[in-house]
Structure 1
Amino acid sequence: ERRGLLAENQLGAVRGVQGAKEQALLNIALNKEYVNNLKATWIDVKKAYDSIDHAYLTQCIENLNLPDWILKFIKVIISKWKIDISVGPEKIMSKKIDRGILQGDSLSPLLFVLCMDPLSRKLNEKYTKVTVQTDAESIFTNHLLFIDDLKLLAKDSSTLSTMTDEAKEFSKVIGLEINKEKSATNDKCCEDTATLLEGVSVYKYLGIIEDSRGIPTRSSFEEVQSKLISRLYDAVRAVLVKNKIHLRPGCKERLYLPRTELGRGLHSVELRSEHMLLQLLDCLMKSKEISTIRAAILKVENNNKTHLALIKGFLKVNYRLVEEVTKKSLEEAQLAKLYNEIEKRKLHSKLYNARKNELVSVTVFCYIQDRNVFWGADGVCQHCGKSGKTVDHLATRCEKMLGHDYTRRHNEVVRCLHLLLLNRYKFKSSKRIRSHSVQEILDNEYAEIRVDTRIKTAVKIRNNRPEIFILDKKKNKITLIEVGITSQDSLQIVETEKLRKYDLLANELGLIYKCSVEIIPYVMTWDGIVTKYHKSHLKRLEIPMNVEAYIQSIVLKKTVEIIFFDRRRGLESGLNAEESWERASMAPFISQGGTTLEEPTNNINKESDLKEETVLVKEVEENI
């Protein structure tokens, strides 16, 4: 670009421009300036890349006065172009490319636009141009060119005819052929080269549908607004529902929140278009003083009060913004609008209440977080007969489920941590979680590990039965690990209790073993929410992220089993039970990573009835 090797008409493969968008806007600006009365020919070339003559390509490069080493490099590259055709591992054919430009790399478009540049320069030198007057100066042009998409513009038929003949002759010389069926014109003088647009006929240039007068058809805008966007949203949600990533009564706004904000990370077409228009307007405004093309585009856009010109005012009103609209302020306003919609829903808003607490972060996602499992049906818990039948109650709060469902979920977490520790301290080298059973006391030259056993001390201490006790003999250090699965309301309380529960025991152990003692809580909610301190706890326990993700998957899966089993035998009993269960059954989806009533610490040596997902098991086995 610095050497001016390309004419300004070519906006393809050029850095620092908006490419097809800028060319399309200039096209619209020119037509509006001339009240859509310009004569035009749209030229399409048959297999443009595949037809360039190599002798012509080499001549174009030599005429650029490039350094010898660059010229030599390009010539050698061209001479070595070939394609290999293989069937399985066997190569059946090798063909040298004697004509055309090999595609698939960043050099090919540059070579092609260099081949088209002589046509631009010839058209600019010989033929009358149309103009757009800006505040400072005017822009003059008689054609638009984006790679091989060429549009010729003229005020009268004779000029358009001679320009079309010039383009036709040039194409023939360099080995290109104009495709008459896919080319178009709005003047009869060129109908021997291109198809004449008559009546309701239209032509699509750079994605913009134009009629014979170069006017973008209103139907194309209405179709995008009223039909295509709606159909796109429906299609996306249908795919998500089919693959059990989203439920029909689920929170739609959550689809368009970033993953760090509890969302699915998808982009809304409407929200994204607002960003694109704002960025495009800012780009045009910043460089209007140095680019006559952008100045001309802005002038016409402002005169016609288009959506692009008014986008900042629209965003200010739509999102009630007071200050200047920027990319950051727009992102914040869009997020706020999505959250406002979520807060209007009683069930969906519960998950997002955690955002109001600065100590809480969210690390995993699954269907059940929407808390829309029972489809709004009222009822009483069949276990305790006291509380309402809600997801939160069944997941952690029911007293009658403490001794079995919650215990199995709790023990699965302990089992995973136990296997990790056994491998770390060389008690075993097995990585098979499925067959692992927990032993209460293990001892070797590296460490002593106890699970759910009473620790004898000189002074009687009430809390003397930690979840996991580790005596590291090499580091002369004791670690007490406490596991807890709870609800959002109790998260901070439970983590603090787990952290302070064994303070007296830790002091006694320090005196007995004459070593340092640390207490590390491993606490998360049933739906994957953890405190800000959880990350530091993971680091101290040296738990790999894949193991952490697997543990979270066990917690979520156990919770799903608890709730959906209860749903199936309760609300869904009847003739359509099987159908409803099939519709509601779902597996949690895990992202990167993370009691209620006090979690019991019953005997861990019970075989779990959980059938782990094979893929997750293999992943965690590789990381233990």
Structure 2
Amino acid sequence: MGKERMHGQYPRSLDDTLVDKEQTYRWLKFGGIKRETESLIVAAQDQAISTNYFKRKILKEEIGSKCRLCKEYEETIDHLTSGCPVLAKNEYIVRHDKVCMHLHYSICKEFGIEVPDNWYSHVPKSVCEHEDITVLWNQGVQTDREVLANRPDIIIKNKQKKTCILIDVSVPSDRNVVQKEAEKKLKYKNLSIEIQRMWNMKYFVIPVIIGATGTVTRGLRKYLELIPGKHSIDSLQKTAILGTSHILRKVLQCEA
């Protein structure tokens, strides 16, 4: 009975005006994801996975509802997929970096920078250069004035066009994708001003936000079109989702 109450919770929670529902669900048809993983992610979307919180609050089991890893917060799906301080030390970083690698690979390929045959074999270099293009990976920008947020995931400098693209990636909980997109735009405002002043370049701040179980905003397609290269939302979703499924399996195998 408890599980039935949870079914359909995820679709009801999506904001039609800000979330791209059609794209959000595309991975179910075109993602090429194994059925076992698909079932796990759909259950996670409906908050219907056997977390400690679910067992106590929905199934009414006599069990503590706190996270089995951090012992501090309620062990909800949102907590496990994006909010646990223990998982934040490594697991979330690995998932985030794989989405970044996917983008970096396509950018380098577009500019004729040497890359392997497959993106998942790609190991980004801190600095890649080709003619008038410089691509920076996870590099802080030295500015005359102090700027706290000075390290976007990827920076593309085009000396010929005098443009600088700042790309920052996040894989938050699905309910926070819209908020996170706005936060990223604001986060790099001061850095953008300094770049324009120091380098005399027009700047673009591009947030790439993929929800932990695949939710994307209506703005994502427009942002990806501003990034050089061919970027597939389907592929980026799949990368984030596989990272999330790995995290959930790893946690749920641990004893509660």
Q: Normalised by the shorter chain, which TM-score bucket?
A: 0.7 to 0.9
Pair 1:436 & 2:105 matched: no
Matched residues in 2 for 1:461 and 1:522: separation? 22
Instruction: Give 3-state SS (helix, strand or coil) of 1:531's partner.
Output: coil
Instruction: Give 3-state SS (helix, strand or coil) of 2:149's partner.
Output: coil
Contact preservation (8 Å) 2:208, 2:220: yes
Q: CA deviation at 1:530?
A: 1.4
Structure 2 unpaired stretches of 5+: 29-37, 57-64
Q: CA deviation at 1:389?
A: 2.5
Matched residues in 1 for 2:95 and 2:130: separation? 29
- Residue type of the alignment partner of 2:99: V
Matched residues in 1 for 2:174 and 2:115: separation? 37
Q: CA deviation at 1:402?
A: 0.6
- Residue type of the alignment partner of 2:18: L
Q: CA deviation at 1:369?
A: 2.7
- Residue type of the alignment partner of 1:354: S
Q: CA deviation at 1:357?
A: 4.7
Find the counterpart in structure 2 of residue 370 from structure 1: 43
Q: CA deviation at 1:394?
A: 0.6
Find the counterpart in structure 2 of residue 514 from structure 1: 200
Alignment of 1:101-500 (within 5 A): 345-362=4-21, 363-364=24-25, 365=28, 366-367=38-39, 368-371=41-44, 372-374=48-50, 376-378=54-56, 379-500=65-186
CA 1:551/1:489 → structure 2, altered by over 3 Å: closer, same or farther?
Answer: closer
Q: CA deviation at 1:465?
A: 1.3
Instruction: Give 3-state SS (helix, strand or coil) of 1:386's partner.
Output: coil
Matched residues in 1 for 2:78 and 2:8: separation? 13
Q: What do you get for the CA RMSD once the two structures are aligned?
A: 2.2
Contact preservation (8 Å) 1:425, 1:446: no
Matched residues in 2 for 1:388 and 1:570: separation? 16
Q: CA deviation at 1:476?
A: 1.9
Find the counterpart in structure 1 of residue 253 from structure 2: 568
With normalisation by structure 1, the TM-score equals 0.35
CA 1:538/1:354 → structure 2, altered by over 3 Å: closer, same or farther?
Answer: farther
Matched residues in 1 for 2:249 and 2:181: separation? 27
Pair 1:548 & 2:239 matched: no
Instruction: Give 3-state SS (helix, strand or coil) of 1:420's partner.
Output: helix
CA radius of gyration, larger in: 1
Matched residues in 2 for 1:561 and 1:429: separation? 26
Contact preservation (8 Å) 2:138, 2:153: yes
Contact preservation (8 Å) 2:165, 2:206: yes
Matched residues in 2 for 1:446 and 1:380: separation? 53
Q: CA deviation at 1:544?
A: 3.6
Matched residues in 2 for 1:525 and 1:466: separation? 19
CA 1:561/1:429 → structure 2, altered by over 3 Å: closer, same or farther?
Answer: closer
CA 1:552/1:488 → structure 2, altered by over 3 Å: closer, same or farther?
Answer: closer
The Cα offsets for residues 524-555 of structure 1, whole Å up to 9 and x where unpaired, read as 2101111111121122125546x432221121
CA 1:354/1:360 → structure 2, altered by over 3 Å: closer, same or farther?
Answer: farther
What is the number of residues matched between the two proteins? Answer: 228
With normalisation by structure 2, the TM-score equals 0.81
Q: CA deviation at 1:426?
A: 1.4
CA 1:436/1:392 → structure 2, altered by over 3 Å: closer, same or farther?
Answer: same
Contact preservation (8 Å) 2:195, 2:203: yes
Instruction: Give 3-state SS (helix, strand or coil) of 2:42's partner.
Output: helix
Find the counterpart in structure 2 of residue 583 from structure 1: none
The Cα offsets for residues 31-71 of structure 1, whole Å up to 9 and x where unpaired, read as xxxxxxxxxxxxxxxxxxxxxxxxxxxxxxxxxxxxxxxxx
Q: CA deviation at 1:512?
A: 1.8
Contact preservation (8 Å) 1:354, 1:360: no
Contact preservation (8 Å) 1:452, 1:465: yes
Matched residues in 1 for 2:90 and 2:115: separation? 31
Matched residues in 2 for 1:396 and 1:447: separation? 34
Matched residues in 1 for 2:212 and 2:229: separation? 19
Instruction: Give 3-state SS (helix, strand or coil) of 1:541's partner.
Output: coil
- Residue type of the alignment partner of 2:43: D
Matched residues in 1 for 2:131 and 2:55: separation? 58
Q: CA deviation at 1:505?
A: 1.1
Instruction: Give 3-state SS (helix, strand or coil) of 1:448's partner.
Output: strand
Matched residues in 2 for 1:539 and 1:446: separation? 21
Matched residues in 2 for 1:498 and 1:427: separation? 28
Contact preservation (8 Å) 2:172, 2:212: yes
Matched residues in 2 for 1:434 and 1:491: separation? 25
Q: CA deviation at 1:456?
A: 1.3
Relative contact order higher in (CA < 8 Å, ≥ 6 apart):
2
Contact preservation (8 Å) 1:360, 1:529: yes
Q: CA deviation at 1:509?
A: 0.9
Contact preservation (8 Å) 1:445, 1:473: no
Contact preservation (8 Å) 1:480, 1:519: yes
Instruction: Give 3-state SS (helix, strand or coil) of 1:475's partner.
Output: coil
